[in-house]
Amino acid sequence: MKDHAAPHRPFPRLCLPGILAVLLAGCDSFSLPDQFILPGEDKVVLALAVDNAVVQRNGSVGLLPSGGEKPYRFDAPSAFDLSTGTATYGVGYITNATYTAGGAIGKVRITLRDAGDATAFAYVTILPPKPTLLGERIGGNQTINLTWTFPAPDAEILTGFLLECSTDGSAFTASGTHGKDSVGTSFNNLNASAGYTYRLRALSGTYESEPVTISL
């Protein structure tokens, strides 16, 4: 007597489109793509840029926040690289997305926070103000006298002056470093027919101002 195996019965075939059609029937507001967007997936990362990364003491810089969740807010500037190593002078203030440098010299960090308390940072280097430089040639053009001044309100941060000289107006060599109380210097026995260009910077610790130049 032969054994009769049970007839093979295949698993029932699932018709996914039919099932989905039943599930979705009467649910007009349901949107499959919307359900698979992860929270925060479409958000832009918070960032902070500045319109000028270098500014003179008491100058202003525009702050350019982007991304994250509005509203934004700024923390008070944090000084961490002043010429004295400590926050001896004020580091400035922020109003209407504008940073106004205070009495600090060096690098300050500006912190941006968004509504979710995410943070972004920007850095601004504050330099000493530029000095003024005047000069004249006398003695048959063989002597040059230079005089300079520095803004009196900023004298507290001044540590000296760096003077450079050029005979072609492009390649400069150091002519000397002068003390913070110096007001000028002279050069004698010069070539009467040659031209000389001088460049002067104010110093505050390791930081230098933008140069001022005079050609004689």
Taking only the tens place, the pLDDT of each residue in 88-128 is 556 788 999 999 988 878 888 899 999 999 999 998 999 99
pTM for this entry: 0.70
Contact 104, 150 (CB under 8 A): no
Of 61, 65, 39, 51, the residue nearest 118 (C-alpha): 65
Of 118, 206, 85, 101, the residue nearest 154 (C-alpha): 101
Residue-averaged pLDDT of the chain: 81
Position 205 pLDDT exceeds 90: no
44 contact partners, CB below 8 Å, separation of at least 6:
66, 67, 68
- Domain holding 53, by residue range, is 47-127
Q: Are residues 99 and 140 in the same domain?
A: no
Q: How far is CA 119 from CA 46, 107, 192, in A?
A: 7, 19, 61
Question: How much is the pLDDT for 24?
Answer: 43
Q: Are residues 139 and 210 in the same domain?
A: yes
Higher pLDDT, 17 or 104: 104
Domain membership flag for residue 38: no
